[in-house]
Structure 1
Amino acid sequence: MGVPQIRTEEVSALIYCRVSTTKQKLTGSGLDSQEYRCRQYAESKGYNVEMVFPDDASGGGDFLKRPGMCGMLAYLDAQRGKDYVVIFDDLKRFARDVEFHIKLRREFANRGAKIECLNFAFEDTPEGKFIETIIAAQGELERDQNRRQVKQKMTARVEKGYWVFHAPTGYKFTTDRIHRKLLAPDEPIADYLREALTGYADGRFRSQAEVQRFLESKPDFPKDLPNGKIRAWKITKILKNPIYAGYVQAKKWNVSLRRGHHEPLISFATHEKIQKNLAEGARGPARADFSEDFPLRGFVTCSECGNHMTGAWSKGKYKYYAYYRCMTRGCSQKSKSIARAKLEGGFEDILKRLQPSKRLLDLAIAMFSDAWNSRLELAQAERDEWRRQAEAADKSLLELIDRLVETKNPTVVKAIETKIEKLEREKFALVEKAAEPLPNVGKFEECIELSLRFLSRPWDIYKNGSYAVRQTVLRLAFSDPLTFTPEGVYGTPKTTLPFKVLGHFDNQKCEMVL
């Protein structure tokens, strides 16, 4: 009789691989090399590898936040009653935290899975558990030390004026010979942000909603919603971020606001004006349901109640008709329709009358030239005064810091810190103003050309412009909304200063002296 053969049951194995950084996942071969070594180990042991579960750097020490580890535990749950060996390349891939190491060991034990590591032999003895805990603690120590070192290096770099986090919208990281990794404007997105930030500061965009619609209208600007919209909180974040003014800070690391080395998109004075507008919140929000069909909606008011008129389409027997109406409850003109052609035609006449003659434009040029020369004479004196104020602010800062060091009262410390932060921002604005070069001779022609282009033909710009351009013309030409009366005529328009001055000269029949 022959000797009976003993049948050995095949052992099933699972492999877990993990890299420490996302860069290793994208550009390195960490996961592949780990899997290869683990498969070689399994083959030498005669194990049958059923699945491989990889993880990148996500989740940190908590294994429940790692997709690969969660997937492995779920796989074991689905195979209850079947014994598995889980293979790791290195004990540090298991858990670099003593607490989570013990918890993970328990999770595998509850599922009947055996753990094997290529460079460490697990032993169920007091001595083996002690050594295992020491190695896990060493891994936790190394991780905490690395985290501390990275934080210290990043903090030091922010203190030197460099941005170390993800590049904000409108910027990208470039390699500079002197500064190494440095932010640089990412065009054309940066150009859109310049216009949006400056527009909100000077009143072209009267609300964050208008800034949002402007940026959403730009096809190249990144959107974060499937419908092509941008979340409102992102607009607020952009408006509040001092990085666009060339400054960096890291409040969570106690790094105060300081001048950065990257190129700013706006001046610090413009940034401060934006913060003031955000804090005041006095400007009326733009309509969310704006329509290019009714450009005067929200600008023309009812003479009876003083409220803004609205516009809408009304369905007739055969077609739709466009009307403006006052919808104020209790107003005698409520719901009385005014044909769009009539209301907008009267506005057209008003805007056309604002276009001055060539004689008045020549006079305006001469006036602007005199004003420009007078302003230049004052510019140097103002710059000297800004320098003096900046030096005074610097001296006050030093005095406040001395007081802060001597003070122990928490309430007083908080008050002094708040005052220091405010004074620092004021100093930044003063230093920036004092450093601005005086305009050259050619700057006058450049500025006057843009101004005269608008003053000479406001109606043409309005007629041919987009909805946003038309709204800008309304704000630049009129200081107050226009009033429409029940008789179908406009009240006396209140124009802005340039048109008011030109209108005054026109009424006086002034002659320009050559």
Structure 2
Amino acid sequence: MNIAYIRVSHIESLNGTSLDTQEKRCRAFSELHGFKIDKVYSEIVSGGVEFRKRKVFQKVLKELGSNGRLIVSRLDRLSRSVLQTLQLVEDFKKSHNQLCITDIGNVHKDGVSKVFITILASLAEIERTNISERIKASKEIAKQERRYLGGYSEFGYKVDKNNQLIPDDKEFEMLQSMISLRRSGLGYRQISDEIKNKYGKRIYFPQVHKILNRDHNRHF
């Protein structure tokens, strides 16, 4: 069984890592190396979440069985944890599965790839930290010169004692998720469904459209 696994995150910037782009890369890799992808699974989850806590990824592992092949477009699409990544490689050895990463090759057949995966896994973990820092920076930018003009407060923000709009922690995280999912190529209705699944809050797609098309939200 040859399975492609594609992943996007709620909170990271996803330029160049849309679901469609990832699938195209995986299929191009399989054609180049003379095999066919049997199934494609996608998941919206942070790269820092453990494999065992990812519902879709666990389903992938069960279907993969043994003597299978897992294809991902880039290492950071698999995980942003060094330890988890290297443990998965070892687990695959025991189950006689192969891990193929489109930009570095088959980890289990190419000695150079084994070196690259250790280096790249470390870089992916560093990037995960940088993503968190970028979100904090976005909050600081959002605090600047945002006056409350009355009526309902804007989604993602609350009114402080100086009558300014400042980020509301929970709603601002949802706002960042919506922005990231839109950048990854998802439609407004799909974004509405993903927010409901992740946060348990229903924001209907016309409202998602309105929120994401505010001028200041386009800058994040």
Matched, 1:48 2:36: yes
CA contact (8 A) 1:61 1:100 kept: no
Alpha carbons 1:58, 1:66 under 8 Å: kept: no
Matched with 1:261 is 164
- Secondary structure at 1:140's aligned position in 2? helix
- Per-residue CA distance 1:25-50 (angstroms, 9 max, x = gap): 9xx98112221221232233332322
TM-score (norm 1): 0.27
Taking a change above 3 Å as real, the CA distance of residues 42 and 125 of structure 1, as seen in their structure-2 partners, is closer
2:124 is matched with which residue?
139
User: Which residue is equivalent to 2:50?
Assistant: 62
Cα distance in 2 for partners of 1:40, 1:68 equals 23
Opposite residue 86 of structure 2, the aligned amino acid is I
Q: How many residues align?
A: 159
Distance in 2 (alpha carbons) for counterparts of 1:74 and 1:22: 28
Change (3 A) 1:259 1:110: farther
Matched, 1:101 2:89: no
Higher-Rg structure is: 1
In the TM superposition, 1:448-467 aligns within 5 A as none
One-letter identity of the residue aligned with 1:14: I
Give the C-alpha shift of residue 88 in structure 1: 1.1
Which amino acid letter does the alignment assign opposite residue 102 of structure 2?
Answer: L
* Structure 1: runs of 5 or more not aligned: 1-11, 164-169, 174-181, 184-242, 248-257, 263-514
What is residue 130 of structure 1 aligned with on the other side?
A: 115
Q: Return closer, same or farther for 1:101/1:110 CA change in 2, 3 Å cut-off.
A: same
Q: Percent of aligned pairs with the same residue?
A: 25
Aligned 1:64-463 pairs, distance under 5 A: 64-76=52-64, 79=65, 82-121=66-105, 122=107, 128-155=113-140, 157-158=142-143, 160=144, 171-173=153-155, 183=157, 243=158, 246-247=159-160, 258-262=161-165
Distance 1:104 1:123 in 2: 12
CA–CA separation in structure 1 for the residues paired with 2:96 and 2:130:
34
- Which structure ranks higher in relative contact order (CA pairs < 8 Å, sequence separation ≥ 6)? 2
**1:38 alignment partner in structure 2:** 26
Contact 2:47 2:76 in 1 (8 A): no
1:67 is aligned with what amino acid? K
**Residue deviations 1:120-155, cap 9 Å, x none?**
032568765333211111111122122113213314
Could you state the TM-score of these two structures normalised by the residue count of structure 2?
Answer: 0.58
- Extract structure 1 runs of 4+ deviating beyond 4 A: 22-25, 123-128, 160-163
Report if the CA contact (8 A) 2:92-2:98 is conserved.
yes
Assess if the C-alpha contact under 8 Å between 2:48 and 2:81 holds in 1.
Answer: no
Letter of the 1:20 counterpart: S
